[in-house]
């Protein structure tokens, strides 16, 4: 099979696997798998294929951060996604405001030295409005923006936080839900979210069936979310693969015929 045909099949597959994406603005994908991992073959190619169809943001996470040196496999994978029109943002953990800011700054600097990226994903963010926590994340936000105003800053408290995180601002957009599909069924946006575009909000849901995935995408307006990722993967790491949602071969046959 030629490379061109292979990529075309990936594009068709992604368009089927996420056939209800018309309800959402973007895909937002934690890609916590190595480009050369034999257990996840072609996953980064699939991400690049998705980026050709819909706006796609991919979270880069080599080693719970940038690692100690540049990885050529990630360089190639990032170029592939960005060359297809997608965005790649870099994972930073903060231990709910307890990680030393010097360590956070070091990770930011290393990412920028190693890879071409579009922004940063600030994980383990607090959700309260205490002055100490707000100052902590505002410092990170300003540090990144001082590098370049073009870098996006995505915060992940995993729940709907206090409005101050957006109003101050401390981030550019927020993951306001991250969790199991059982919990997501009961998700209710907060009233203050109506003050902002739904594209500023992100939901990440795991352990979902194909049917549940389709249902979630059909309720994006109700849930006030413009960026969504649904996977059938499970804890302890629900982001170490991409969701199949149907056999590739079965999906391909009626389309290619």
Q: How far apart are CA 243 and CA 43, in angstroms?
A: 10
Whether 57 contacts 86, CB under 8 Å: yes
**pLDDT of residue 78 exceeding 60:** yes
Predicted local confidence at residue 23, as pLDDT: 45
**What is the DSSP code (8-state) at residue 212?**
H
Predicted local confidence at residue 15, as pLDDT: 47
Q: How far apart are CA 118 and CA 114, in angstroms?
A: 13
> What is the CB-side half-sphere exposure of residue 123 using CA atoms within 13 A?
14
Whether 108 contacts 143, CB under 8 Å: yes
| Domains, in order of start, for the chain | 28-252 (3.20.20.80)
Q: Is the dihedral angle over the CA atoms 192, 180, 216, 118 positive or is it negative?
A: positive
What's the pLDDT tens digit per position in 107-159? 999 999 999 999 999 999 999 999 999 999 999 999 999 999 999 999 999 99
Predicted local confidence at residue 9, as pLDDT: 45
Distances (CA, A) of 196 to 93, 163, 178, 220: 26, 10, 20, 15
Predicted local confidence at residue 216, as pLDDT: 84
| Cis preceding linkage at 185, omega within 30 | no
Task: Please state, as a whole number, how many other Cβ atoms lie within 10 Å of the Cβ of residue 193.
Answer: 19
Number of H helices, E strands in the chain: 10, 8
Residues belonging to the chain = 257
Q: How far apart are CA 73 and CA 90, in angstroms?
A: 15
Predicted local confidence at residue 8, as pLDDT: 44
Mean pLDDT value across residues 226-236:
91
**pLDDT of residue 80 exceeding 60:** yes
Q: What percent of the chain stands above pLDDT 70?
A: 85
Task: Please state, as a whole number, how many other Cβ atoms lie within 10 Å of the Cβ of residue 121.
Answer: 27
What's the pLDDT tens digit per position in 179-204? 999 999 999 999 999 999 999 999 99
**What is the DSSP code (8-state) at residue 97?**
G
Q: What percent of the chain stands above pLDDT 90?
A: 70
């Amino acid at each position: 099979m030629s490379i061109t045909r292979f990529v075309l099949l990936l594009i068709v597959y992604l368009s089927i696997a996420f056939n209800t994406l018309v309800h959402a603005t973007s895909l937002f994908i934690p890609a916590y798998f190595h480009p050369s991992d034999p257990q996840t073959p072609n996953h980064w190619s699939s991400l690049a294929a998705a980026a050709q169809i819909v706006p796609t943001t991919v979270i880069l996470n080599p080693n719970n951060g940038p690692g100690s040196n540049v990885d050529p496999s990630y360089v190639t994978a990032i170029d592939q996604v960005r060359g297809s029109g997608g965005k790649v943002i870099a994972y930073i953990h903060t231990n709910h405001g307890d990680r030393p800011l010097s360590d956070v700054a070091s990770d930011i600097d290393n990412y920028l030295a190693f890879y071409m990226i579009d922004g940063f994903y600030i994980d383990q963010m607090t959700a309260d409005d205490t002055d100490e926590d707000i100052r902590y994340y505002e410092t990170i936000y300003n540090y990144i923006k001082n590098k370049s105003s073009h870098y996006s800053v995505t915060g992940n408290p995993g729940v709907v936080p206090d409005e101050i995180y957006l109003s101050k601002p401390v981030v550019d957009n927020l993951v306001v839900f991250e969790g199991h599909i059982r919990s997501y069924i009961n998700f209710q946006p907060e009233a203050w979210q109506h003050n902002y575009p739904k594209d500023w909000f992100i939901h990440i849901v795991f352990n979902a069936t194909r049917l549940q995935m389709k249902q979630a995408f059909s309720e994006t307006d109700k849930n006030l979310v413009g960026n969504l990722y649904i996977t059938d993967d499970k804890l302890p790491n629900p982001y170490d693969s991409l969701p199949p949602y149907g056999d590739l071969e079965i999906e391909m046959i009626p389309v290619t015929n």
